[in-house]
Amino acid sequence: RTPLGVISGLADLLRRDVAHPRQARRLNQLFDTTQHVLGVVNDILDLSKIEAGELSLASEVFSLDAVAARVRRLFGDQARKKGLAFSVRLESRLRSLPLTGAHMRLTQVLLNLCGNAVKFTHSGSVRLVIGLKALDADTAELAFEVRDTGIGIAADQAGRLFRPFRQADSSATR
């Protein structure tokens, strides 16, 4: 993790000093990508914690607007390079609503969903929609939806996806 932390830290320092928008965007992508890879490394370490029955989720106050912006930054250019339209729609009531929860895990899930959508969409669009289903004094019920024009999943394989460590097609090219 240390080398990734160094790369991420340097990217963060450099992006603070850059005035050119194109360079700033590239440094933001570098920073976000190193954070994502660091997240993958941490996930691997978390698997051992899960197996040992010692995983706990951190609960922090966070902004969905920041999470949405990170997803947008990470996949926007990648989608454009493939000729795809990529958008993130966050319901307006959620923009300034402070939430408490495991925002790193939420971000991880959204990055995985959007990453797969961009990966398996060859033309058309990918769109992440984040909506508010219900809100009371203590809880918010959110809806997350990824819409894409990709290849989709065969109905007979969809039921197997939400079992531990399964994919519809486990070949290396998928």
Strand order across the beta sheet in which 85-90 lies: 85-90, 125-135, 140-148
Residue carrying structure tokens 């486990």: 170
pLDDT tens column, 12-69: 888 888 888 899 888 888 988 888 888 888 878 877 888 888 877 788 999 999 999 9
Give the predicted TM-score (pTM) of the model. 0.67
Please give the DSSP secondary-structure letter assigned to residue 72: H
pLDDT tens column, 120-166: 999 999 999 999 999 998 899 999 999 999 888 888 887 777 676 55
CA distance 152 to 163: 18
CA distance 88 to 58: 25
Strands 98-101 and 125-135: unpaired
